[in-house]
Amino acid sequence: MRINVHSNTKTTTFKLNDSQAAKEFYAQLPLHIEIENYSHNEKIFYPPKKLSTSSTPAANAKNGTLAYYAPWGNVVMFYTDFGSASGLHELGHAVSGDEHIKNMSGTIEIENAD
């Protein structure tokens, strides 16, 4: 499963893993959704429905990691290395355009790329 994230005329493509949370996220596409800055290394947004984290691996987040933070119900795109945190689960990783994550802003479009 691959997705494209469009923001400010740039595209980042992620390859999703085979986890339950990644499948549930993929099923919610396409999305037009507001993205927010969080901390100094990530962009976040809240999908319409919370994701199940059963069979979803813990994240060791690096630049380009797509993750789900279960306690808050938000999806996270990392643009610098982070590491791990309780409740942070990996959904996939960027296969192209990871350099665009840091500059994403406003409403982004997320669509199926398969």
Tell me the torsion sign for CA atoms 109, 71, 55, 17: positive
Residue keyed to tokens 């999305």: 31
Name residue 34's amino acid.
Answer: E
- Give the three-class secondary structure for 98: helix
Q: What values do phi and psi take at 10, rounded to 5?
A: -115, 155
Residue 114 has pLDDT above 90, yes or no: no
For residue range 44-90, what is the model confidence (pLDDT) as tens digits? 999 999 999 999 999 999 999 999 999 999 999 999 999 999 999 99
Tokens of 90: 């990996």
pTM: 0.96
Domain range for 95 is 2-112
pLDDT of residue 36: 97
CATH number at residue 61: 2.40.100.20
Q: What values do phi and psi take at 99, rounded to 5?
A: -70, -15
First to last CA, the chain: 6
For residue range 1-10, what is the model confidence (pLDDT) as tens digits? 999 999 999 9
Neighbours of 90 (CB within 10 A): 21
Number of structural domains in the chain: 1
